[in-house]
Amino acid sequence: MMHNNIDFNNKDILITGGAGFIGSNLAFYFQENFPNSRIVIFDCFRSTEVFSNGNLKSFGHYKNLISFQGKIICGNINNQTDLALLDDYKFDFIFHQAAISDTRIYDQEVIMKTNVNSFYDLLKIAKKNQAVMVYASSAATYGNQPSPQTEGKENPENPYGYSKYIMDQIADIYSKENPDLTIVGLRYFNVYGPREYYKANTSSMVIQLGHQILDGKAPRLFKGSDQIFRDFIYIDDVLQAIVKACDPQQNGIYNVGTGVSRSFQDIADILQNELKTDLGAEYFLNPHDGYQTHTQANIIASINNLGFDPKVSLEQGIKSYITEIKRLHGTEII
């Protein structure tokens, strides 16, 4: 599906984090819709390295890229020698998705180095190539700010959210210093859809609850889940935002949500409806202090400046995704 008039055929496209959830979907979007685009994926892929909480350091997975026909570079955005491998190319578009994406990593030094320091280098590459830069920010920049979360009213509450907030400030300054460059940051809300499975316990609750139900178990939810709301957005709408961000009315940082909030209970109910089960739910105490109970993106700026037009309801997204949820059920993550 075309989202605007840009013809990506014969263009050189860099996707950092292209072995991950959003990056790999983007790579296939270009491959399928613009068969003559030249796509380079740069990703460190997953290793056995873990953080102190046992979570993997990176989630890139080769299984996200089976049948991808572009180039793949296994490299670390923190490593200058690896980044120098990109000198051989002249990119027209850079989609910077690589990051420590796990919001529950609290090692501030490693998050800031990975997410922030590397961004200076990627911006330099964009400038040298005169490439359009579209990068991943996050709704985590808002912390517990009340809904609707609106650009300009940030208050990050974890190192991950802070790192993205600092990236946004860097982008803003870089944009002002280089008015000829297109630089757009996208604050994704809760994204779900195919190719997220390898994020393991950081994948969306849609697939996690789906697999619990397919195990024949009642989906496990925090007590009061009918009152905990998120702006869940299907991957296809995120791809639309990324493509539209290549031709913005003006540079900036834009929310990428549906503008509608739904509860975790809704997810469980829609899944049970799709899977034709009636397992009820198992409720347990939410162990997290200061848990955000309501997110809903204000998407006015994204509509006005990107032409963003999210189309997929939670019901439609889960319906499209359910075959893939079933296919992955019980398969190994490693």
Ligand X SMILES: NC(=O)c1ccc[n+]([C@@H]2O[C@H](COP(=O)([O-])OP(=O)(O)OC[C@H]3O[C@@H](n4cnc5c(N)ncnc54)[C@H](O)[C@@H]3O)[C@@H](O)[C@H]2O)c1
Edge-to-edge order in the sheet of strand 12-16: 71-74, 38-43, 12-16, 93-96, 132-138, 183-188, 252-256
Nearer to ligand X, 92 or 231 (CB): 231
Helices (H) and strands (E) in the chain, counts: 10, 13
Answer yes or no: are the C-beta atoms of 149 and 258 closer than 8 Å. no
Nearer to ligand X, 193 or 248 (CB): 193
Nearer to ligand X, 94 or 99 (CB): 99
Could you confirm whether 198 is annotated as catalytic? no
Answer yes or no: are the C-beta atoms of 117 and 128 closer than 8 Å. no
Residue nearest to ligand X (CB): 20
Of 178, 161, 165, 23, the closest CA to residue 94 belongs to: 23
Nearer to ligand X, 115 or 265 (CB): 115
CB of 10 to ligand X, least distance (A): 26
Q: How far lies 179's CA from each of 101, 279, 312, in Å?
A: 29, 56, 34
Q: Is 87 exposed, middle or buried (0-12, 13-18, 19+ CB in 10 A)?
A: exposed
Q: CA-based diameter of the chain, in Å?
A: 57
Q: What is the 3-state secondary structure (H, E, C) of 258-325?
A: CCCCEEHHHHHHHHHHHHCCCCCCEEECCCCCCCCCECCECCHHHHHHHCCCCCCCHHHHHHHHHHHH
**Which residues neighbour 334 within 8 Å (Cβ) at sequence distance 6 or greater?**
none
Site residues for ligand X per CB under 6 A? 17, 19-23, 43-46, 58-60, 76-78, 97-101, 114, 136, 138-139, 188, 190-191, 199
**List 11, 164, 199, 244, catalytic entry:** 199
CB of 196 to ligand X, least distance (A): 6
Nearer to ligand X, 134 or 271 (CB): 134
Nearer to ligand X, 196 or 274 (CB): 196
**List 29, 142, 160, 234, catalytic entry:** 160
Q: How far lies 323's CA from each of 30, 99, 184, 329, in Å?
A: 23, 29, 33, 10
CB of 103 to ligand X, least distance (A): 8
CB of 139 to ligand X, least distance (A): 6
Could you confirm whether 199 is annotated as catalytic? yes
Answer yes or no: are the C-beta atoms of 13 and 93 closer than 8 Å. yes
Answer yes or no: are the C-beta atoms of 183 and 248 closer than 8 Å. no
CB of 118 to ligand X, least distance (A): 7
Nearer to ligand X, 199 or 211 (CB): 199
CB of 238 to ligand X, least distance (A): 8
Please state the separation of Cα 106 from the chain's center in Å.
19
List residues with catalytic annotation: 160, 199
